[in-house]
Amino acid sequence: MNRLAWRGSWIGFVFMALPPMAHTEDPANGFEKLKNLAGEWEAELDGGHLVRSSYRLISNGTAVIESINDATHEDMVTIYHPDGGELRAVHYCSSANQPRLDAVWEGETLAFSMVDVTNLTEPGQRHIRRITFRFEDRDHYMQEWTQRENGEDSVDTLRFVRKK
């Protein structure tokens, strides 16, 4: 066997022996998961307070609007939409700012991380840094909201159940 053929065989063998790369799902596929949330949802906070969330398709199915309300905040809205191969969100916060977030899949979790924020009036003002979804089944999902205030992060974890 000539030298070049031997080298090519060796390189092929090495690549075949390597473990397959981890599959990373396209963030835009998360849009289908979000569309499937259309309807009314509830989660219970510590202390028994209910958080209500609703999802609906808007703009001819090209965006999903989430409206969330609990006893301690005014209604907040997040709009999720695909942008080419990306999935983006804008959160209209009760703190009067608007974080813009991009999504990635992290295992089974669809994670939106802040890219920038508009109308942040002071550096320490409370704002959302991250929103994550873990889809359990058709009637249950977990959501985590990471917010930053005065340089400190806190996380609220909610387990939503579809209202029948």
Task: Indicate the pTM of the whole model.
Answer: 0.82
| Residue length of the chain | 164
Tell me the domains of the chain and their CATH numbers: 27-162 (2.40.128.20)
Rg of the chain taking only CA atoms, in angstroms: 21
Q: Whole-angstrom Cα distance, residue 8 to residue 28?
A: 37
First to last CA, the chain: 70
Q: Name the region of 27 (left: φ>0; alpha: ψ -120 to 50; beta: rest).
A: alpha
Residue pair 105/86 in contact by the 8 Å Cβ criterion: no
**For each of the chain's 164 residues, which pLDDT tens digit applies?**
555 554 545 444 433 444 433 335 677 689 999 999 999 999 998 788 899 999 999 999 999 999 999 877 778 999 999 999 899 999 999 999 999 999 999 888 999 999 999 999 998 999 999 999 999 999 999 999 999 999 999 999 999 999 97
